[in-house]
Structure 1
């Protein structure tokens, strides 16, 4: 199905320039089409070929729609599809077609992402406000320190080992919760620590763990912009969530 989707994209968008240089002929009214109203038609599927063709059309259309594309020149799309399928002469070569696809999908994705972020901003405004209010009060507690980025932390156990750099790999145990106490991850429950490059995690971790000497255990209060941002992470971490982590730095790998 991915291959079908790609061929449809290549063919449909590749033929876009065709529409600018040649006026498409009027589409004849098919004898197999029954008019229901002035604006709606129902296609009569009278054979297996009809059903198969229509099924491929809906599958391709559904796939294209998920990319964020809002509309296409459907007559030119069909022309491109037919040219590619029957071996006809295509207007754009493969490189030109791929460039058209990349540009169209990038633009559609940007529009889609912007719309999703705006929708999340409205929907999860209470989550963002809760986090801001929590951090404002939390920074006043004794023992809580705040960095220039807004990251907050407190030392639960002070270690004496080496501190990691952002480029180091570290071995840690940790527990992560939302402000309401709901746990979304816990290496202790899995029974083994985790090792990872420090520059491959959320910014709050990259910054915070660098403050820790090996052997330390810190508690981090991470604002959404240093965590998973406007999108959140999966079903357990909503967009704009302030997160709380208890992190135990067992060692800096290789040091």
Structure 2
């Protein structure tokens, strides 16, 4: 009989709250799998793709696949519950240490960034710089916006870029992170800006994809249109 994973591990795998701003790191140089016309192959790939966006980047895809195969075959897990619990506790401790260090370095970045004359700071702590004034509509939280953007961390790591994909994104502004909901209404259609989003206005204390917990998110955003 196969056994269910302890709750602590299940939370690690499924407890991530993603928001609609795409944040997965793209690697177009990696070899892509061969396409298939088999409906189940297509659906299997789609399921795996969706699941992959919601698991910590540190997890081994190979070991994840091994666990899924054993579970589907109704085999006993190769690790005991005690071993799994210990690993989960060690992993959680590592995450907490990383988050604490990340928080300190990001607080320093924001403090230094706020001193620059071109940077403005709102009451919530959001920092921004207007690169180009727009002349069209001003978005609200109820608007659907079409944008080009690049998101990166304070160390310069780019975690997502519609510029690189050469494909603007259209999405409901109200379904994005709080930093976007507050920041985008500061420009009009045709405008562009830099947003420096504190963790509390981004993904907070959770890691999302390649974004560590407590990360400041830096966005360059071009507002193409507002609906």
TM-score between the two structures when normalised by the length of structure 1: 0.55
Question: Any unmatched runs of 5+ in structure 1?
Answer: 1-55, 69-114
Is 1:192 the counterpart of 2:135 in the alignment? no
Unaligned runs of 5+ in 2: 12-89
SS at match of 2:102: helix
1:84 aligns with none
Q: Which residue of 1 aligns with 2:157?
A: 182
Q: How does 1:52-131 map to 2 (within 5 A)?
A: 56=1, 59-62=2-5, 66-67=9-10, 120-131=95-106
Report the alpha carbon displacement of residue 60 of structure 1 after superposing the two structures with TM: 2.7
The counterpart of 1:135, out of the listed 110, 121, 129, is: 110
Rg larger for? 1
The CA deviation at 1:62 is 3.1
Cα deviation per residue 1:12-34 (whole Å; 9 max; x = unaligned)? xxxxxxxxxxxxxxxxxxxxxxx
Tell me the C-alpha RMSD between the 2 structures.
Answer: 2.1
2:206 to 209, 225, 231: 231
How far does the alpha carbon of each residue in 1:107-158 deviate from its partner, in whole angstroms, 9 at most, with x for none? xxxxxxxx98886343321111111111111111011100111000001111
Shift of 1:232: 2.2
TM-score normalized by the length of structure 2: 0.61
Change (3 A) 1:60 1:158: same
Structure 1 partner of 2:74: none
- Whose helix fraction is larger, Structure 1's or Structure 2's? 1
- In the alignment, which residue of structure 2 is the partner of 1:80? none
Change over 3 Å in CA distance of 1:124–1:164 after alignment to 2: same
Which of structures 1 and 2 has the larger relative contact order (alpha carbons within 8 angstroms, sep 6+)? 2
* 1:211/1:117 CA distance change after superposition, 3 Å: farther
Paired position in structure 1 for 2:144: 169
Q: Alignment length, in residue pairs?
A: 149
